[in-house]
Amino acid sequence: MSSKNAFYAQSGGVTSVINASACGVIETSRKNPDKIGKVFAGLNGIIGALSEELIDTSRESDADIAALKNTPAGAFGSCRFKLKSLQENRREYERLIEVFKAHDIGYFFYNGGGDSADTCFKVSQLSATLGFPVQAIHIPKTVDNDLPITDNCPGFGSVAKYIAVSALEASFDVSSMAKTSTKVFILEVMGRHAGWIAAAGGLIEDYGIPVILLFPEVDFDHDKFISAVQAKVDAHGYCTVVVSEGARNADGSFLAEQGTRDAFGHAQLGGVAPVVANMIKTALGHKFHWAVADYLQRSARHIASASDLEQAYALGQAGVEMALAGKNAIMPTINRISNNPYQWEIGSADLAEVANVEKTMPLDFITPNGFGITDKCREYLYPLIQGEAYPDYDEHGMPRYVVLKNELIDRKLENFDL
């Protein structure tokens, strides 16, 4: 096999461990200089390939590349940019191949969720058709945990750990004060289509916390919810509610959309937590507080799960190893071997079976009343939040997160209008 360059890009919402996958890709490539030349990274994801803005990662020191493992977010930039279908916009795919050809790129490592798996698959197919075959490997990443075949997705475990720990801590706070102050605490978490992240909040029940979960998978029933909250307050003196941003009414509308308006009457975007808080205030009159974790949850490298971090790195590494073994249109996966002790191994999935398939939360992970998680769900979740992978801190008490040089290589092609 002659040496070809590689292209790596980050796609979609970033996570606290996606850079660990980048680290796995780059470090493994550096160990195989006879087969992989340079690793170019797309500035701001796939857009960097289309616009021929390629970062030369060979100009980064080994130490800085290693530091990626402990740095949250997307070190090369990511983007929300879904390539259209081949029918709609074939020129975008052709442009990608042109750029790959111009820079002698034979490996395409795309680090993202469902949409990027689809793009990756199409690039693999089209590049062969166009006579410049590129080995396209998808490295899974998504806090939404919704990719098929793999047991779980890097990024999710760390968000789950952040939410479980934070919900526990805030519940201790509420418990302390409930006699004269806040009785209901509402924590809004990510998850527009699936309740995986809210489910992690359910783990605190094992630690004695009265908690109610609101999932997108379960139609919201106002009266049932209010009764459940009051029952917890009666029994424990307080109640914690963990609500998915995607919690929905029976008619499919988001709870978050149903109400808040600014002084001018404009519908206000975001924020299901205050909507739920107001329901509780109106129906029960309890003092409440609410928090919206938003980006804090998916960037919280300071409390990343060690098992998540290890898997994120291992999948980047495995992606390169699969490419070196001649694989194409494939995604390395996590296969769970056992829960206790937690054991897993790297597997693989054909991209044809990954692209455009969304894995939702199994219904037997949710309790019959719709407000909690089952033991089966607990057994699934705990291994994913195992261990603490702390970053280093500087003398000021701030985490040492690396900012790369991100120097672009010279362009060889004409401009391309996105």
Q: Does 305 bind its own copies (CB under 8 A)?
A: yes
Query: Is 401 a residue that touches its own copies (CB under 8 A)?
Result: yes
Per-residue CA distances from 121 to 50, 101, 247, 349 (Å): 17, 18, 32, 12
Q: Is 223 in the site for its own copies (CB under 8 A)?
A: no
Q: Which one of 118, 144, 146, 308 is the catalytic residue?
A: 144
Residue 347's alpha-carbon distances to 190, 295, 316, in angstroms, are 28, 30, 13
Q: Is 301 in the site for its own copies (CB under 8 A)?
A: yes
* CA 144 to chain CA centroid, nearest Å: 5
Note whether 80 binds its own copies by CB under 8 A: yes
Q: How many residues bind its own copies (CB under 8 A)?
A: 88
Supply the minimum distance, in Å, between the C-beta of residue 268 and its own copies.
Answer: 6
Angle between helix axes 306-324 and 156-177 (nearest 10 degrees) is: 170
Touching its own copies, residues 173-192 (CB under 8 A): 173-177, 179-182, 185, 187
Q: Quick one: 307 or 317, whose CB is closer to its own copies?
A: 307
Q: Which residues pair with 220 in a beta bridge?
A: 249
Whose Cβ is closer to its own copies: residue 275's or residue 361's?
A: 275
Smallest distance from its own copies to CB 203, Å: 7
Judge contact between 102 and 134, C-beta under 8 A.
no
Round to the nearest angstrom and report the end-to-end CA distance of the chain: 34
For residue 300, give both structure tokens: 């919280």
Contacting its own copies (CB under 8 A), which of 20, 293, 349, 366?
293
Distance, C-alpha 22 to centroid of its chain: 14
Smallest distance, its own copies to C-beta of residue 380, A: 12
From the centroid of its chain, how far is CA 203?
19
Task: Tally Cβ neighbours within 10 Å of residue 394.
Answer: 9
| 298 binds its own copies, rule: CB under 8 A | yes
299 lies in the binding site for its own copies (CB under 8 A): yes
Q: Is 242 in the site for its own copies (CB under 8 A)?
A: no
Work out which of 113, 195, 271, 370 binds its own copies, going by CB under 8 A: 271
Binding flag, residue 277, its own copies (CB under 8 A): yes
Contacts with 336 (C-beta within 8 Å, 6 or more apart), sequence order: 151, 152, 342, 343, 344, 383
- Residues 306-365 touching its own copies, rule: CB under 8 A, are 306-307
Are 220 and 180 in contact, with CB atoms under 8 Å apart?
no
| Contacting residue, 137, 203, 213, 322, with its own copies by CB under 8 A | 203
Which one of 227, 369, 390, 407 is in contact with its own copies (CB under 8 A)? 390
Q: Does residue 55 belong to the site contacting its own copies (CB under 8 A)?
A: no
> Does the footprint of its own copies cover residue 263 (CB under 8 A)?
yes
The residue within the footprint of its own copies, chosen from 387, 406, 411, 416 (CB under 8 A), is: 387
**Footprint (CB under 8 A) of its own copies, residues 149-168:** 161, 164-166, 168
User: How many CA atoms, within 13 angstroms, populate the side-chain half-sphere of residue 95?
Assistant: 21
Alpha helices in 114-210 (DSSP H): 114-129, 156-177, 196-201
Which listed residue (251, 368, 397, 414) binds its own copies by CB under 8 A?
397
Contact pick of 130, 149, 284, 291 for its own copies (by CB under 8 A): 291
**C-alpha distances in Å from residue 114, one per residue of 139, 285, 315:** 11, 43, 16
Overall residue count recorded for the chain in this entry: 418
Is 382 a residue that touches its own copies (CB under 8 A)?
yes
**11 by DSSP, 3-state: which?**
coil
> Residues 205, 294, 321, 350: which binds its own copies (CB under 8 A)?
294
Residue whose token pair is 């969304």: 358
User: Is residue 240 within 8 Å of 187, Cβ to Cβ?
Assistant: yes
Residue with Cβ nearer its own copies (209 or 349): 209
Query: Is 394 considered catalytic here?
Result: no
Q: Which residues are known to be catalytic? A: 144
